Structure 1
């Protein structure tokens, strides 16, 4: 029977890590690894199984952790990975919501700025029309004097701010 690429027999895995096949069977019995089985019931270890086995061997042989401790560590790692995925999804969702809110705010600010500019331009045009009416003599008549102090004060203030340049 031909072996699939990326799948290894128990003897190949035992040689890979210089451990006894019975040790690998014990890890499987304890539920630490779950290799697939062929039609002939031969264990087939995937690359993920190899990575997990490598971690188990590191924890047991290098750090001296017992199998119950290894099981707890692997379960905690699994929970952490699940929580990390949830946090990433929540972060992505929140980030998208913030981008959307930012775009809404930017649109509102742009619209408000346009409205303000229109109002300011209308105000300037109105002031200009009022100035033209107040200073423009019609025929031989003198400009009409208004009894409103506000109009004269505004006009006087603008006249005071005029600058005259002389050629020398």
Structure 2
């Protein structure tokens, strides 16, 4: 079963979390847990939502206020999202390496951008040298690029 599937009505989610349905409504208003809505605007909670409600209850029992709990939940959700994103990128990289064995998949460009390279190709770097001479006090700069 998908832990993100919205399957529980508010009464069942409240029972599973050990809370009153009105508490779930308040948490929804505060943004602590945001269930999906049906076409008729009824709340539907997932197993992930129920686990989050239990975590909120645990943190509340430890003495944290709702704003502190909201911030913790927000950060935990962000960490979970980023972990999923990293797994997806690692999977894509592994697939690419399997499809192109022995090849470099990407390199960093001079501006920090990511560029693709073919096998055996090296990135060309700008090796130009710029000479700068400070002006003497009171000297006027001369434009010596004009060759009349």
Compare CA radii of gyration and give the structure with the larger one. 1
Q: Higher relative contact order by CA 8 Å / sep ≥ 6: 1 or 2?
A: 2
What's the TM-score once normalised by structure 2's chain length? 0.50
**By percentage of residues, which structure has more helix?**
1
